[in-house]
Structure 1
Amino acid sequence: MLNSVPGPRAGHVHFGSHTAGDMALTLETRDLTIRFGGHVAVNCVSCSFRPGELTAIVGPNGAGKTTYFNLISGQLRASSGSILFDGRDITSLSAPLRTRAGLGRAFQLTNLFPNLSVEENVRLAVQAQSGVHYDLLRPWMARRDLIARADAILDQVALGSRRNITATTLSHGDQRKLEVALMMALEPKVFMFDEPTAGMSIDEVPVVLDLIGKLKQDKSRIILLVEHKMDVVRSLADRIIVLHNGQLVADGKPAEVIASPIVQEAYLGVSTRSAA
């Protein structure tokens, strides 16, 4: 039970070493905090993320996971603290400017152009990434390079055969795949997934997990994943950080973090204290 979980402990539990070789840190939050009235939803969270590593962000309901995501991607503005990306302070940048800088975000609810075709959705993202603007004298159908790039991405996410279908008619699982395709088209340095399997049927889940697994093969990217399903976390994560009551309470290798007493209590609701 969540209300039986003890209050936050001083500091957080750190497991093992996270040295990333010669790779410089590219995304970092420093004392990141947001308050809604008297409620502190994210409380002084300092954490860095590295290329070639998928970090799962877990915690009980209300722990601050999605709020932390929203702070990083720019949907929310921090009350205090800072966000550094490639050595640049992006704390004051809007969400669109952070996207242009290389932060790609997928939401719990799909964020598509529902009345456009699957191909048109991806083609618009390719066009935005390439910096090509609308040209009255050159219709987009003449830009075979953009269409070819969009089609190649659709093939990668197994939607090539559905390119001419209106996005709103896709199944929920295929819409999530299309959202991944849009992120890929923007060529971000950071992929951010907020519960990517939420609302999916059992048959649809492996397809999206396979897509994220393929993205992991590019060691130049950072992947962040908010997820409450521990089987998903175990199958994908290289590292887990745990939030509880808005604070960072654990950080390390999946097996070590999941087995730790603080996570057993705070996340799994298992009391590890001996009976009186």
Structure 2
Amino acid sequence: MTETLLQTDALTVRFGGHVAVDAVSCSFKAGELTAIVGPNGAGKTTYFNLISGQIPASAGNVTLLGKDITRLGVAERCRRGLGRAFQLTNLFPNLSVLENLRLVIQSRAEKGFQLFSMADSHVELTNAAMEILERVRLASQKEQLVSELSHGDQRKLEVALLIGLDPKVYMFDEPTAGMSVDEAPVILDLIAEIKADTSRTVLLVEHKLDVIRSLADRIIVLHNGALAADGPPAEVMASAVVQEAYMGKELDHV
């Protein structure tokens, strides 16, 4: 039986009288990429925020690797194997691309802030960082300050930092947003590589249907904060109710 890595049970958050996420229960298994879709304001990003710990739940639970993490903060969830790309954006904007990634790898190795010592004493960390930078096509910019990167290269670095953390659960919130046609395939290829590792699971919030169609094993649809559909991509996309109410006319072309 495929292992469940992440689960939400009746996960709910209220802002005053507004229920932004309404008792969503889902389990996410190893080796599966789940696309989370729905109209603007459906609760997709809020659901992500609840899972990753950016906002506290009003009710319900989040379970990671069989342990309840509902009351844990972002950092502790990250240490336990939950990784969300944007958490790491501009971690140290005044350090270089290589230094940022090396810090993340050092953190994962639990060697603390000794990373700020001479780089020569951290050859193994530098080599590991360079391997990842090669994968995201940022090796030639290793000495560039993060604050000077283009938007597209910042998105690549987000993914590099996430890979450096080596989480069990990868969370991507519109990873190619704002990227050029030439840049986006790099990120999508990396997500496909991560998906191929059957010991991990990937959650993806995405609006681009071609991306969903090429990567997703499963689609869940949120509407008004509630779970409206959950199933294989072809089945969910073919649903007349989903097309009309949740996905819009864009699905007519699929």
Fold similarity call, TM over 0.5: yes
Structure-2 change in CA distance of 1:30 and 1:157 (3 Å): same
Whole-Å separation in 2 of the counterparts to 1:154 and 1:268: 36
Equivalent of 1:114, from 76, 93, 100? 93
| Secondary structure at the counterpart of residue 165 of structure 1 | coil
1:239 is matched with 218
Structure-2 change in CA distance of 1:119 and 1:212 (3 Å): same
Deviation at 1:211, TM superposition (A): 1.5
Equivalent of 1:94, from 70, 73, 78? 73
1:59 aligns with 2:38: yes
1:43 aligns with 2:8: no
The 5 Å alignment of 1:49-198 reads 49-107=28-86, 110-135=89-114, 139-198=118-177
Deviation at 1:133, TM superposition (A): 2.0
Deviation at 1:265, TM superposition (A): 2.0
Deviation at 1:84, TM superposition (A): 0.7
The superposition leaves residues 185-208 of structure 1 with CA deviations (integer Å, 9 ceiling, x where unpaired) of 111001100011111222222221
1:30 is matched with 9
Structure-2 change in CA distance of 1:266 and 1:118 (3 Å): same
Whole-Å separation in 1 of the counterparts to 2:159 and 2:246: 28
| Secondary structure at the counterpart of residue 247 of structure 2 | coil
The superposition leaves residues 132-167 of structure 1 with CA deviations (integer Å, 9 ceiling, x where unpaired) of 123499534311111111111111222112211112
Larger radius of gyration: 1
8 Å contact kept, 2:146–2:154: yes
The superposition leaves residues 153-183 of structure 1 with CA deviations (integer Å, 9 ceiling, x where unpaired) of 1112221122111122222222111111101
8 Å contact kept, 1:108–1:198: no
8 Å contact kept, 1:33–1:45: yes
Whole-Å separation in 2 of the counterparts to 1:233 and 1:225: 9
Whole-Å separation in 1 of the counterparts to 2:90 and 2:212: 23
| Secondary structure at the counterpart of residue 3 of structure 2 | coil
The superposition leaves residues 16-51 of structure 1 with CA deviations (integer Å, 9 ceiling, x where unpaired) of xxxxxx222110000000000000000000000011
Deviation at 1:231, TM superposition (A): 1.5
Whole-Å separation in 1 of the counterparts to 2:178 and 2:87: 9
1:199 aligns with 2:166: no
Deviation at 1:109, TM superposition (A): 9.7
8 Å contact kept, 1:108–1:195: no
Equivalent of 1:211, from 186, 190, 210? 190
Return the letter of the residue paired with 2:141.
Answer: R
1:260 is matched with 239
Q: TM-score, normalised by structure 1?
A: 0.86
Whole-Å separation in 2 of the counterparts to 1:145 and 1:66: 36
1:4 is matched with none
Q: Structure 2: which 5+ runs fail to align? A: 250-254
Whole-Å separation in 2 of the counterparts to 1:224 and 1:136: 31
Whole-Å separation in 1 of the counterparts to 2:91 and 2:209: 28
The structure whose residues are more often helix, as a share, is 2
Deviation at 1:213, TM superposition (A): 1.2
Q: TM-score, normalised by structure 2?
A: 0.93
